[in-house]
Structure 1
Amino acid sequence: MKDEKETLRKTDESIHVMDGFDPAILSDVPAPVVSLYIPVHHSEREERRDIWDRDMFKDLMKNAERTLAESYGKDAYKGILEKADYLLAHPDMPLWLHAGEGLGFLMGNDDVYVYNLFFAPDPMVAAGDTYFVKPLLRNFQYGTEYYILELGNDRFSWVKGDRTHVQRQQLPREVHDYFSELFANSDDTAADMKKDELGALDYITLEGHMGQYHDHQSRNDVKKEDAAQWFRYVNKAVNDYLVRDDATPIILCCDEEYVNAFRKICTLRHLLPEGIKKDPAGLDGKALLEESLAVMDGIRDANIKQAAERFGADAAHGKASDDFDAIGMALAERRVAALFMVKGKILPGGFDINTGTVTFDGNPNPVDDGYIDPAAPDITDAFAQAALAQDAHIYIVNQDQMPTASPVAALFRYAE
């Protein structure tokens, strides 16, 4: 009984719900592995509690097991099946109950990495020597996660957002302490400390209500000099306590009259050049999400367009290509700066990262109808994993956003 509990504990600890995509987990993974993606049926949740989702997971795992049995002995993937059984036997795990529009599972014998997806993927499973990650790249490519700095001339809040929602963050104690020393509720700071109050610190809720920092004066009475000092304090607090080494982009949301004043003193490295020029007090959660996505999508589309427009001139000088062999060699030599791929496109075949050799599968059907299994290995997925390993930008786009008619294209770091 004790051994069984220990086994269950270790299995539970081997299942990791991921906040972001870390390319390091793709390195040196012992084969075999399973990559599984399912949509989540939110409309059925109250009545059937994810039964559809878990049934879909179970069916896809049966297909994966059948595929694995063709190339491996059962002991070679025993750990994968045990972890899948554990997931199915625990429907009240937070990963099931708090799922977004879809779930992605990267499963090995030692660890399982679970990803909450903002879109509903087609049900899909791939079993073989390497993970299938393109759906995750779509989920975590630039613009899917961001912060919002909601700023007034005497107050601020910190919001985290993604493609589906925005959520006000609880400010850490260090921030409360920092501002309590600067902006106490009374002249008697010591008295406030004794009462365990948080000074005048408050933050904006997504329902549009705002608390005041200065209880002794109205918001309209805050002088420009005080506002400038306040902006410097906010800038320092965000830098020192909220972002530090975090490279997530930040959207500034404030009334247009304060934009220039804050940007003039701002030292936030990842503050985006475009922001929301509206008083955050007038934006509820839905409106804030819409405004934020407009900013993120606009910057992303501009970046894609700019990179695509470079392609023609760079290709003429050997700095870009849509040729598979040329891209494969550039990836092997770690010379790819940006990789374009068509969303949803699967190209059966192989890619050797050591030599740059690309081989194509002669089967014109990229999907195994019997197993709902994408061609594995897939050339574009292998390209994407190699590009991630060298910190290249990856753009998963519609065909009309591609710089050429090819399903893949790349910009190189320097000429061949």
Structure 2
Amino acid sequence: MNKERMHELVEGIHMIDEVDPADFKTIKTDFEFEEPPAVSIYMPVQHTERDMRRNNWDRIEFKDLAKEAKRQLLASWDEREVKPILEKLDYMSKRQDMELWLEAKKGLAFFLNVKTCYVYNMDMTPKAQVVVGDDYDFAQLNGEIIEDTASRFKLLLLNADFFAVLDGNDQGVHFEEFPEDVKHYFAETFPEFDGEVTALDYYSLEDHLPPYHGWKSRNDVKQEEARKFFRYVDKVMNDEIVRDETDIPVILVTAPEHLHDFREVCTFKALYPKAIEKDPRGLTGGELVADALEVLGS
């Protein structure tokens, strides 16, 4: 590949880290006027592996996905027609110094056609997927990019033995899948953890409470165990879910008796001042949306 062609490839690959929803609408509209084929690739980023070998694991994973994209392309299109797409895939898989490998967050979404390639740096972990067809597949990205950011929020569903995170806006909510690191952390910390990736359950408090002694009542011990669990939840929220982000409010959804204890141990800045003071297990998705909008608007 000559230098001029390599320069054209570089110019045609656009890395987008912080997505303005208005820009995303324009990009989606532009895509509608492109000639097929359209290639959509979603790739989860394994941070544990990246800590050890930086960007090597990501590129290896991408090579496998690119190979599948090539297979699907050549099954329906002539190789000469899709050569620019194949060149972009090959270029990205070989260049370990590219920003997209060095700065990857929880996932990468690639959208390619014969002219351009957009790479979105995702804050949510997507499922590995390759889609080749006449149109792009934005389904997983739509879970992250909310058209109306003014109404976007996260919900932290919390009890003394349970927590989950939902992402939502005024149209609905969906569970945010936890990274593998979170599962491993809770599995090592709590033998009772059931391995679910969208909700961490800690139901066996009654079975592992420390023995009563001195002045402590059973309720005192249960409260201590709940506070201990809340500290672990706060750590996960800080380290894996919100980190230093403050632009998307996190609304606490919990029974009134847990509100004070969690706020005492909470350290992440995105926690919204007001909460939904209800047991989250008794609420539907529609009720959660209505309550969240009421809290944000009050």
TM (norm. structure 1) is 0.37
Corresponding residue of 1:42: 47
Structure-2 residue corresponding to 1:132: 137
Q: Tell me if structure 2 keeps the 8 A contact 1:146–1:250.
A: no
Structure 1 residue identity aligned to 2:6: L
The Cα offsets for residues 79-100 of structure 1, whole Å up to 9 and x where unpaired, read as 1111111111221212111111
- Look up the equivalent residue of 2:8 and give its one-letter code: K
| 1:27 CA displacement | 1.9
Once the two structures are superposed, the pairs formed by residues 389-404 of structure 1 within 5 Å of their partners are none
| Unaligned runs of at least 5 residues, structure 1 | 148-162, 169-248, 252-282, 307-416
2:56 aligned partner: 51
The structural deviation recorded for 1:305 is 4.4
Kindly tell me: are residues 144 and 69 of structure 1, through their superposed partners in 2, closer, same or farther at Cα, counting changes over 3 Å?
same
Give the length in aligned residue pairs: 181
1:88 aligns with 2:69: no
Contact 1:39 1:122 (C-alpha < 8 Å) held by counterparts: yes
Work out which of the two has the higher radius of gyration on C-alpha atoms and give 1 or 2: 1
8 Å contact 1:68–1:127 — kept in the other structure?
Answer: yes
1:291 pairs with 2:272: yes
SS of 2:114's equivalent in the other structure is coil
Tell me the TM-score normalised to structure 2 length: 0.51
Please report how far the alpha carbon of residue 166 of structure 1 lies from its aligned counterpart in structure 2 after TM superposition.
3.5
RMSD, aligned CA:
4.0
Q: 1:119 to 1:250 in 2, by over 3 A?
A: closer
Query: Partners in 1 of 2:138 and 2:34 — Cα distance?
Result: 14
Secondary structure of 2:126's aligned partner: coil
Aligned counterparts, 1:14-413, within 5 A: 14-18=12-16, 19-20=18-19, 21-22=24-25, 23-141=28-146, 164-166=242-244, 286-291=267-272, 305=289
The alpha-carbon distance between structure 1 residues 146 and 304, as it changes in their structure 2 partners (threshold 3 A), is: closer
Aligned CA distance change for structure 1 residues 32 and 140 (closer, same or farther; 3 Å): same
Distance in 1 separating the partners of 2:122 and 2:36: 25
In the alignment, is the contact (CA less than 8 A) between 1:15 and 1:112 conserved in 2? yes
Match of 2:10 among 1, 9, 12: 12
How far does residue 292 in structure 1 lie from its aligned partner after superposition?
8.3
- Residues 291-341 of structure 1, C-alpha deviation per residue, up to 9 Å, x if partnerless? 38979xx9xx669745xxxxxxxxxxxxxxxxxxxxxxxxxxxxxxxxxxx
Q: Secondary structure at the match of 1:99?
A: coil
- CA displacement at 1:288 relative to structure 2: 0.8
CA contact (8 A) 2:45 2:58 kept: yes
Structure 1 residues 88 and 40: CA distance shift in structure 2, 3 A:
same
- Give distance in 1, aligned partners of 2:85 and 2:77: 13
CA distance in 1, matches of 2:274, 2:123: 13
* CA distance, structure 1, for counterparts of residue 55 and residue 129 of structure 2: 18
Question: Any unmatched runs of 5+ in structure 2?
Answer: 153-240, 250-263, 291-298
Shift of 1:14: 0.8
Change (3 A) 1:101 1:92: same
The answer to whether the 8 A contact 1:118-1:164 is kept is no
Note closer, same or farther for the CA distance 1:95–1:294 as it changes in structure 2 (3 Å cut): farther
1:37–1:105 Cα contact (<8 Å) kept: yes
Identity of aligned residues (%): 34
